[in-house]
Amino acid sequence: MAILGAINPMLTVGLDGDKAWRLADYVKRDGYSALRRILESGIGQGDVINEVKKSVLRGRGGAGFPTGLKWSFMPRSFPGDKYVVCNSDEGEPGTFKDRDILRYNPHSVIEGMAIAAFAMGAARGYNYIHGEVWEIYERFEEALDEARAAGFLGRNVLGSGFDFDLFAHHGYGAYICGEETALLESIEGKKGQPRFKPPFPASFGLYGKPTTINNTETFASVPYIINMGGDRYLEAGKPNNGGTKLFSVSGHVNRPGNYEVPLGTPFATLLEMAGGMRGGRKLKGCIPGGSSAPVVPGPTMMDCTMDYDSISKAGSMLGSGAVIVMDETTCMVKALERLSYFYYEESCGQCTPCREGTSWLYKVVHRIEHGKGRADDLDLLGSVTTNIMGRTICALGDAASMPVQSFIKHFRDEFAYHIENRKCLVPVDVQRAGSGFFTATA
Amino acid sequence: MLTPESLKRIDREIAKYPADQKQSAVMAALAIAQEQQGWLSSDAIECVAGYLGMAPIAAYEVATFYNMYDLKPVGKYKLSVCTNLPCMLTGGVDAGEYLKQKLGIGFNETTPDGLITLKESECMGACGDAPVMIVNNRRMCSWMNPEQIDKLLAELK
Ligand SMILES: Cc1cc2nc3c(=O)[nH]c(=O)nc-3n(C[C@H](O)[C@H](O)[C@H](O)COP(=O)(O)O)c2cc1C
Ligand code: SF4
Ligand code: FES
């Protein structure tokens, strides 16, 4: 199991059994009791939304937008079709928490979506699952079958008169479909190209109907909020940062994996839980919120706590909670080159600044890495990023620019060394040793 | 050209969407067609389009947009290795190099016996398990150190 540790957990409690994902096991852990209580005791839609507002649950997909507020934008008493959609397209490099939630606790997502659907007056939902995790998609379908058979989904849920149908939709390899409007286009059977906003999905979403999209972990947290109450959930984290969060720790640590900790937990504690730095090496830099978040130098990172506000003060973003740890064996130019390639490859091509800009970013970082950098390349990179940012339909343009700006800002000397000396500051065999691949058997 | 078994699976996908939104099943239908054939030929794409009542060009657009569709024949096994940054830090790139050496081919190439096609891929949402690779879009393999890779290659016959 890849959930390797926790402090005061909620989402990952009781998941050590090998059948944790089964309905019976979930019910034993108090599963579906929140949905049942809402439907049987006449708790109103507004009450549910208020509870979520009180919890200050912030979206776990990347932007950290308050979930209760988002839900209140839905025209819930308007007649007509409305949708709730779960974003399990987890493709942000460094993020692998939704996979584990769906793998070990899929019913928490189903229950959370059902509660959300009730609160917003939606009768249908979809969970969009990343194409690469096929086994998880199959498991989620099985969980849906179980929930339907037990009356938690479908017509007249638990005899309450509330109808909710939920289905799984799989992606097939396009990072951009994690962007919410691209995801909707994709469910509609089209290319996953983001839409102009406004209109926002709450007024014009799936099939043109009001729609709310939340991340897997966001939905999974909802039953726990209803059961413990919004206030207590908020207290479990820190002010303005309610609850616990799953952090996916990858890179140069001894035990890469998922860790559930209260928001506000010191980064140093999380690092320790992940077994500390591999080989006892020094932390060079850390990307604290998935590849789109600016990199933070090691010493600054060691002073951060893991919550939206602290990370933002350090000049980065908590994002999806993907903590990419890089030690001294990392060549920052090569690291940025790989990320820039990713954004270039995944740009959907709709907007010229993003399509052309990501191609330039990659080309220039590539030539620096390969000893062909030019004296003014760092300025050129800077100007390309400012020409992308804020001028595109979706946030991928910004996501491609922020790593470039932050890597150059914090590791400028390393880039300059590459350009001047046409080689890397970190010898290749040192980089290789860092990767641990050959030492695994040797 | 689609077998009755494939059509049955496609019907199950169509049922997930509102009656007037059959096109929503196109991604799943194309994936099923690819699974049946090993790759996605123009015939298969047009057949899927016809079955879902959509213009062929609309199905082509989908097939060309998403990376996991293979519009050219691939080996019996397609091995996709993640080399994105989090994996790279933990041996993803080295695993790719190791595979290239072992198989004597580069990325996007197929072994002469038509058995294995090697692909470089983007984040699979499994970075904690790096190095990771996927066989035929379906089976994810974790912690692929040299020993594990040798074992996997011996298994793919
Ligand atoms: C390029 C791009 C990729 C994204 N990828 C994801 C993703 O994989 N998973 C996710 O939940 N949100 C992703 N998002 C954010 C979504 O657009 C959306 O904000 C989120 O799903 C809302 O859910 P939340 O409020 O619960 O976080 C992405 C955004 C952008 C711009
Ligand atoms: S910013 Fe890039 S990915 Fe987003 S819509 Fe524009 S071209 Fe597509
Ligand atoms: S970077 Fe390889 S699976 Fe995420």
Q: Which ligand is nearest to the CA of A201?
A: 1
- Quickly list DSSP for A292-344: TSPPEEHHHHHT-EESHHHHHHTTS--TT-EEEEEETT--HHHHHHHHHHHHH
Give the closest-approach CA distance of A41 to chain B in angstroms.
Answer: 31
Report the relative pairing of strands B77-82 and B116-121 from DSSP bridges.
Answer: parallel
Q: At which residue do the structure tokens 């969009």 appear?
A: A128
Ligand 3 mean position, distance from CA B111 (Å): 25
Tokens of A171: 């992606």
Q: At which residue do the structure tokens 């880039």 appear?
A: A415
Task: Please tell me if residue B21 touches chain A, with a CB cutoff of 8 Å.
Answer: yes
The CA radius of gyration of chain B, in Å to the nearest whole number, is 17
ipTM above 0.95, yes or no: yes
Probe site for chain A from B17, B27, B79, B89 (most A CB atoms < 10 A): B89
Partner-chain contact B130 A339, CB within 8 Å: no
Ligand 3 mean position, distance from CA A348 (Å): 20
Of all protein residues, the one whose alpha carbon is nearest to atom 8 of ligand 2 is A348
Partner-chain contact B89 A174, CB within 8 Å: no
What is the separation of C-alpha A352 from the centre of its chain, rounded to a whole number of angstroms?
Answer: 26
pLDDT of residue A441: 43
Walking along chain A (442 residues) 10 residues at a time, the average pLDDT comes out as 88 92 97 97 95 97 96 92 98 97 98 98 98 96 98 97 97 97 98 96 97 98 97 96 97 97 98 96 97 97 97 97 97 97 97 98 98 97 97 97 98 97 90 79 42
Which of B16, B126, B137 lies nearest to residue A99, judging by beta carbons?
B126
What is d(CA A355, CA A397) in angstroms, rounded to the nearest whole number? 9
Strand blocks (E) in B5-148: 77-82, 109-110, 116-121, 133-135, 139-141
Give the closest-approach CA distance of A336 to chain B in angstroms.
Answer: 8
User: Would you report the helix, strand and coil content of chain A in percent, each value rounded to 5?
Assistant: 45, 15, 40
Report the relative pairing of strands A165-170 and A211-215 from DSSP bridges.
Answer: unpaired
Q: Which band of pLDDT confidence, cut at 50, 70 and 90, is reported for residue B11?
A: very high
Search chain B and give the residue with CA nearest A341: B84
pLDDT of residue A439: 65
| Predicted TM-score (pTM) above 0.90 | yes
CATH architecture for the domain at B4-65: Orthogonal Bundle (1.10)
Backbone angles phi, psi at A281, to 5 degrees: -75, 175
pLDDT, one tens digit per residue, over B44-87 is 999 999 999 999 999 999 999 999 999 999 999 999 999 999 99
Task: Please tell me if residue B83 touches chain A, with a CB cutoff of 8 Å.
Answer: yes
What is d(CA B89, CA A283) in angstroms, rounded to the nearest whole number? 13
Which among A221, A262, A244, A201 has a CA at the least distance from the CA of A51?
Answer: A221
> Where are chain B's structural domains?
4-65, 77-156
What is d(CA A156, CA A172) in angstroms, rounded to the nearest whole number? 33
Pocket of ligand 2, candidates A340, A345, A350: which has the most ligand atoms within 8 Å of its Cβ, to mutate?
Answer: A350
Which amino acid is residue A129, in one-letter code?
Answer: I
Ligand 2 mean position, distance from CA A402 (Å): 15
Which among A166, A102, A171 has a CA at the least distance from the CA of A184?
Answer: A171
Task: Out of 3.60.130.10, 3.40.800.20, 3.40.30.10, 2.60.120.10, select the CATH number for domain B77-156.
Answer: 3.40.30.10
Q: Which ligand is nearest to the CA of A184?
A: 1
Which of A132, A186, A326 lies nearest to residue B125, judging by beta carbons?
A132
Ligand 3 mean position, distance from CA A103 (Å): 17
Does the Cβ of B124 fall within 6 Å of ligand 3?
yes
pLDDT of residue A1: 60
